[in-house]
Amino acid sequence: MTRLQQNQITSERRSRRVSISCFIGLFLLGFATRIHDVAAKPFWLDEVTTIHRARLPLWQMIQNSVFFHQFPSYFILTSWALHFGHDELWVRMPAILFGALSCALAFGVARTLGGTLAGLTAGLLMVFSPAQVQYGQEARSYTLLICTILIALWGLVMLAQDPEGAARPLRAQGGRPGAWASYVAGTIAALNVLGDSMFWFFAANLAAVAIAWASAGRARFFWRNWLLAQIVIVLFCLPWFLALKFFGQRGAMGGLDWVPPLSGARIWWTLAGTYFMHTTSLIAVRVFSGIPGLGWLVLLLAAGGVYALRRQRAALVVIGAAVLVLPVSLLAISTVSPVWVPRYTLWSAAPFFICAGLGITLVPRRLQLPVVAVVGLLAALNLHPYYKDETKPRWDLAAADLRTDLQPGDLLLVDDPGAVHMMNVYLKRQGAHLPETAWTQNVQQAAAALAAGHRVWAIQGRVGQADHEDRAQFLTQISSLGPPNTQQQIGLDIVLLSFNGQVAEAAD
């Protein structure tokens, strides 16, 4: 063996060790940003639904999930986590782990396309993205979806980089069985997690045209492999979609009537959180401030990444389709039937950050590492306020106040039963509970209790992303109770009022 060959082998081993170290390091860093202060973010309605559903026996869990237009996969995983505890940490542990793994997978995809520093940039953006961290601290299936799509994307990228190998039989020399397995397994898993993974399926099939084009004279052999892959995917995924159609509450496309109409504010709310590194409220149209210009820097890097991929045209189409198909489709559909919310666009942020990572390759080589360090530092500083921002309504504080204030004989008036369900999660930890006899939605019942000398409390706040009425409507609805004796603001989205009739009697 010549000295040159020995140097090449040594260099390859060093590069492999660096890549493995980066992969593990980004996983651990992503785990740290997601587990940090995870209990400080209170549950909201969908997370409470996850807890209740994950506690059901397996067959009931499956039936309940399908009836409400959701796949049971994530709830099964959460049910395993509940064996260790029912607090915020363990309920959210699956999301934490899959969110952390997504950071490492983004590194892997970007490294395959542009080298280690490109991968490191993409991974750091995933690690410190406020939206990625937020959903990594959310007891829902969004990080699992991102993780599975990244596995599929990695496989598709490898096929795009070797279109001739992609057209060979799987067992033939030069075939790409590993890449095909990654694409197929990741896509099957994604399609069995959430319905909006269908847009990944469409994006992948669009990208397949570019790979077939690049395979030139072997295109028909590539389409043979592609058709086989799609048949396997459909066979493993179609049963659940049929179950949603025939056993779902309102058919296969039901369960979306809660999404509010499209507006300029809602478009920016989604774009700012998903792609531009802003912290946003999970359920309210509210965007918190971040480091000025960071989002535009990421966008500039992504534009550079597009240019950097100009010589890898098939890979460019793969990444471009993964970024654009989802948001463009959701916007188009929303002009007819609203489906535009941040969590539905979330998985497209991962290929967007991968594209931004590739933008580093346009920087002069001697400056690349310092630029990566600066981008990572800015992203970390930008994330820091997220842990103190009120991204979810503080029903934990409301429960604590009511436990102190609500006395036997008092009646609680609510605008949504979901508020009671969430507060009971926290009250039960302290041995308390709001029974059905202690609360009502009926204003007339509350007025009768007030007239009988009982004290009435009224609480209003955001419960989900489509509340039945806003605060002004609620206050108008309960105006027959008279002026409140006290009015307490709890966080940004909840108000607690008390009535005992004394003010009204004095006014008479």
pLDDT class of 329 with cuts at 50, 70, 90: very high
Q: What is the pTM (predicted TM-score) of this model?
A: 0.93
Mean pLDDT, the chain, rounded, equals 92
> What residues contact 125, with CB distance under 8 A and at least 6 apart?
106, 277, 298, 353, 356, 357, 375, 379
* Type of residue found at 53: R
Q: Which of 291, 272, 273, 274 is nearest to 377 (CA)?
A: 291
243/113 Cα distance (integer angstroms): 39
Identify the pLDDT of residue 503: 44
Looking at the fold, whether 303 and 401 belong to one and the same domain comes out as: no
Determine which helix (DSSP H) or strand (DSSP E) holds 17, and give its type and residue range: helix 3-35
For 296-325, what is each residue's pLDDT tens digit?
999 999 999 999 999 999 999 999 999 999
pLDDT tens figures, 200-247: 999 999 999 999 999 878 889 999 999 999 999 999 999 888 888 888
Q: Bridge partners of 287?
A: 280
Specify whether 449 is located in the same domain as 466.
yes
Whether 13 maps to a domain, the answer reads: no
Q: Is 398 exposed, middle or buried (0-12, 13-18, 19+ CB in 10 A)?
A: buried
Q: Do 219 and 82 fall into the same domain?
A: yes
What average pLDDT does the segment 281-294 reach? 93
pLDDT, tens digit (0-9, with 9 covering 90-100), for 47-94: 999 999 999 999 999 999 999 888 999 999 999 999 998 899 999 999
Give the per-residue pLDDT at 505. 41
Helices (H), 285-394: 294-308, 313-334, 342-345, 349-358, 365-383
The domain boundary, picked from 387, 418, 452, lies at 387
Residue 311 tokens read as 């010589």
In the chain, the amino acid numbered 133 is V
**How large is the average pLDDT for residues 163-182?**
92
Q: Which of 151-155, 473-477, 483-487 has the highest mean pLDDT?
A: 151-155
Q: Are residues 175 and 237 in the same domain?
A: yes
Instruction: Kindly write down the DSSP assignment for every residue of 178-245, as one continuous string.
Output: HHHHHHHHHHHHHHTT-GGGHHHHHHHHHHHHHHHHHTGGGHHHHHHHHHHHHHHHHHHHHHHHHHHH
Q: Kindly state whether residues 460 and 365 are assigned to the same domain.
A: no
The C-alpha atoms of residue 129 and residue 380 are separated, in whole angstroms, by 8
| Torsion from C-alpha of 336, 342, 345, 349, nearest 10 degrees | 150
> With 70 as the cut, is the pLDDT of residue 250 above it?
no
Query: Does the structure show a pLDDT above 80 at 468?
Result: no
Q: Is residue 182 included in any domain, yes or no?
A: yes
Residues 365 and 438 in one domain: no
User: What per-residue confidence (pLDDT) applies to 36?
Assistant: 97
Q: How many domains is the chain partitioned into structurally?
A: 2
Residue at a domain's end among 323, 357, 387: 387
Alpha-carbon gap, residue 427 to 199, rounded angstroms: 41
The verdict on residue 202 lying in a domain is: yes
When mean pLDDT is compared across 123-127, 144-148, 184-188, 263-267, the lowest value belongs to 263-267
Regarding whether 145 and 26 lie in a shared domain, the answer is yes
Residue 318 shares a structural domain with residue 399: no
Residue 336 CA to its chain's centroid (Å):
24
Same domain, 184 and 44: yes
* Alpha carbon separation from 403 to 406, 428, 433 (Å, rounded): 6, 11, 9
Domain boundary, last residue among 387, 413, 441: 387
Co-location of 382 and 399 in the same domain: no
In a domain, 3, yes or no: no
Does residue 124 lie within any of the structural domains?
A: yes
CA angle 228, 230, 231 (to 5 degrees): 65
pLDDT at 280 over 70: yes
Using DSSP's 3-state secondary structure scheme, residue 362 falls into helix
Residues 363 and 498 in one domain: no
Asked whether residue 112 carries a pLDDT value surpassing 90, the answer given is: yes
Residue 118's pLDDT is 97
Q: Is there a domain that residue 14 lies in?
A: no
pLDDT per residue as tens digits for the range 428-460: 988 899 999 999 999 999 999 999 999 999 999
Structural domain boundaries, residue 478 = 395-507
Residues 6+ apart with CB under 8 A from 496: 398, 401, 402, 405, 457, 458, 459, 487, 488, 490
Residues 415, 446 contacting (CB under 8 angstroms): no
Q: What are 369-388's pLDDT values in tens digits? A: 999 999 999 999 999 999 99
449 in the same domain as 381: no
Residue 5 lies in a domain: no
Residues 340-358 have a mean pLDDT of 96
Can you tell me which residue has the tokens 């039960």? 428
Query: pLDDT digits over 4-24, tens only?
Result: 666 666 667 788 899 999 999
- Considering the domain boundaries, does residue 2 fall inside one? no
